[in-house]
Amino acid sequence: MRRKLEILLMAVSLTMLWGLMSSTAAMEEEGTCYLKATTDVYMEVYDYDEDDNRTGFLWKGRLNEGKSIKIKAPRGRLSFDFNDLPDQDRPLSSADEVMCTDDRTVSVP
Q: What is the pLDDT of residues 63-73, one digit of tens each?
A: 999 999 999 99
Contact yes or no for 53/71 (Cβ under 8 A)? no
**Between 30 and 93, where is the model more confident?**
93
pTM over 0.85: no
Q: Find the mean pLDDT for residues 60-82.
A: 95
Q: What is the pLDDT of residues 27-47, one digit of tens each?
A: 444 699 999 999 999 999 999
* Type and span of the H or E element at 16: helix 2-30
pLDDT of residue 19: 53
CA distance 31 to 56: 14
CA distance 47 to 54: 6
Q: What is the set of domains in the chain, with CATH numbers?
A: 31-108 (2.60.40)
Asked if residue 109 has a cis previous peptide bond (ω within 30° of 0), the answer is yes
